[in-house]
Structure 1
Amino acid sequence: MSLARATRSELTKQFTTSQWWVLALVLIVYVGSTAGGLAAVFGAVSSGAMPDSGTTTPSIPAEILPPIIYSLATAVGYIFPLLIGTLVVTGEFRHKTLTPTFLATPRRGVALTGKAISGILMGLLYAAVAVVSTVGPGAGILALFDIDTQLGDPDIWAMLGRIVLAFVLWVLIGIGIGTLVRNQVAAVVGVIVFTQFLEPILRTVAGFVDGVSEAARFLPGATSDALVGASLYTSLGGATGGATAEPLEWWIGGLVLLAYAVVLLVLGYLVSWRRDVS
């Protein structure tokens, strides 16, 4: 089977189940409500509608609020493309559909490349959903507080483009993880534990321990934030006095995130993908 047919086959697998639209719906609700809620809180504080004295809500300058709100698409939503990529592969192991996949595409490198290309297309789709879900309510609520939405600023659109790139890279990382860790439960639990617990803890500790903050800049979530160029996490860290290191340049963050994807995909192919399947 050619690469084009392998890719088309992978896309057919994804869109013939309810998994893709269920995850998209959860993504819309999750990042949309987060963007809308935080835009309301920070917008009220920055505009003076809610005095920040006597509250624990950090006051963020109005001019940096739009990029922070829009970047929530990746800052809190990157778990979705990561899970999508992981499920694309582990679902085949779990439901034992990988055998007919390999029978149809005996060249396993072509089969994995087809998954990667389909993953890129899925990443583009989910990135569009995430951007609309954050920019829509975020910009609308900021405008209610007379805060410039900056949607006419080319830098904002460049940032949105980098959000799309980050989503694609996270899907590829997920495919690499799914290829390396065949058990779906173990892979999904590992992804959730690391992204939602371990890395946030490490990044928080890094802000208060000398020397650790430099290394923390190269954690996957930190490099994703650097690629996008804005993050609620780093902004709140600065507002609360955390001694966070200077973020990586956006292009360095992108290269490091790409390196994560490439290493995981290569390891997955060498260690697991070429093994026999039942």
Structure 2
Amino acid sequence: MNLILRPVAAEFAKILSTRMWWILALVLFGYIALLAGGLSALFGGVESGAISPDSMNSGGGAGLSTLGSLPPLIYSFAASVGYVFPVLLGALATTGEFRHQTLTPTFLATPRRDRVLGAKTIALFVVGAVLGLVGLAASVGVGALVFNGFGIDPLLADGETWALIGRTVLAMALWAVIGVGLGVLVPSQVASIVIVLAFTQFIEPLLRFASTFTEVTADIGKFLPGAASDALVGASFFTLASPGGSVLEPWQGGLVLLAYGLLATGFGYLISWKRDVT
């Protein structure tokens, strides 16, 4: 048992001994709180009548009737927007080993490289779940307060809301695993950061939008990692952009995300993790 726990404890020590994890957590909280607070105030104001819906429609806004239940959509921001943070953390925690050459003493202490990578994956899975809780503290905490202010039920007594919260934590944990896999597959820290930001902020949103044009591409687009994550969580503003699009079941979305993480980690192990280090 110690052969498993000691490497995992060492990986936690590496992560917690740096400022990277809590800086990302703070930025995540502020970012999600700003989005959740702003949009819940906007849509909550329209829903309650405090804001005239005509002012939105004159600006090209869609009717709120198409949005469905507002609270789950706001709460889902923790994952649908915040998922980039656990990916970055997983990638940085792995590429930092190559950049600062800490892999050498790590492999000397634990010669089984597969055990080291497994321990890092487990540690980042847990830390990714913690980031999920941070994102939810922002989206649910701020969103529920704003909805209460407008007299809208935040649905915190609804079991499905808490199921969504649990699935969000799982999604964020799986994104951290994907980040580990990317960091192993692309050991360059700069390159991995560029890939994460370019793919999550530009490439995949464009691919998801383009996939809605035909039924065939929609069936392919639902297997993109962001679409799988939204399916796992069960709510997202992005899925509303294509109401006729095909969506995976939550359990299927979770398996797709897990597959991305395992494939990236497996290929990375074969390509770079087993190489000689100096």
- Whether 2:194 is the aligned partner of 1:189: answer yes
Where do residues 69-88 of structure 1 align in structure 2 (5 Å cutoff)?
69-88=74-93
User: How much is the aligned-residue C-alpha RMSD, in angstroms?
Assistant: 1.4
**Unmatched segments (≥5 aa) in structure 1:** 239-243
| Matching residue within 118, 122, 127 for 1:122 | 127
- Relative to structure 1, the CA distance from residue 204 to residue 63 in structure 2 (aligned partners, 3 Å threshold; closer, same or farther) is closer
Following the alignment from structure 1 to structure 2, what is the Cα–Cα distance between the partners of residues 167 and 259? Answer: 14
| Matching residue within 99, 117, 124 for 2:104 | 99
**Unmatched segments (≥5 aa) in structure 2:** none
Following the alignment from structure 2 to structure 1, what is the Cα–Cα distance between the partners of residues 59 and 235? Answer: 24
- Relative to structure 1, the CA distance from residue 112 to residue 180 in structure 2 (aligned partners, 3 Å threshold; closer, same or farther) is same
Query: TM-score, length-normalised on structure 2?
Result: 0.94
- Whether 2:12 is the aligned partner of 1:11: answer yes
SS at match of 1:22: helix
Following the alignment from structure 2 to structure 1, what is the Cα–Cα distance between the partners of residues 18 and 51? Answer: 46
Post-superposition offset of 1:207: 2.2
- Whether 2:25 is the aligned partner of 1:21: answer no
Q: Which residue of 1 aligns with 2:183?
A: 178
- Whether 2:146 is the aligned partner of 1:156: answer no
Q: Which residue of 2 aligns with 1:232?
A: 237
- Whether 2:138 is the aligned partner of 1:137: answer no
Post-superposition offset of 1:44: 1.4
Following the alignment from structure 1 to structure 2, what is the Cα–Cα distance between the partners of residues 63 and 200? Answer: 22
User: Does the CA-based 8 Å contact 1:126-1:167 persist in structure 2?
Assistant: yes
Following the alignment from structure 1 to structure 2, what is the Cα–Cα distance between the partners of residues 237 and 37? Answer: 23
Query: TM-score, length-normalised on structure 1?
Result: 0.94
Q: Which residue of 2 aligns with 1:201?
A: 206
- Deviation digits for residues 120-140 of structure 1 (CA, Å, limit 9, x no counterpart): 221121111111111011011
- Deviation digits for residues 31-61 of structure 1 (CA, Å, limit 9, x no counterpart): 1111111101111122222222213332334
Post-superposition offset of 1:210: 4.6
- Relative to structure 1, the CA distance from residue 45 to residue 207 in structure 2 (aligned partners, 3 Å threshold; closer, same or farther) is farther
- Deviation digits for residues 175-210 of structure 1 (CA, Å, limit 9, x no counterpart): 000011010000110011011000001111222345
Q: Which residue of 2 aligns with 1:265?
A: 265
Q: Which residue of 1 aligns with 2:42?
A: 41
Post-superposition offset of 1:63: 5.4
- Whether 2:94 is the aligned partner of 1:89: answer yes
| Matching residue within 213, 221, 236 for 1:216 | 221
Post-superposition offset of 1:237: 3.9
Following the alignment from structure 2 to structure 1, what is the Cα–Cα distance between the partners of residues 112 and 225? Answer: 31
SS at match of 1:2: helix
Percent of aligned positions that are identical: 48
- Whether 2:52 is the aligned partner of 1:51: answer yes
Q: Which residue of 1 aligns with 2:247?
A: 247
- Number of aligned residue pairs: give it: 273
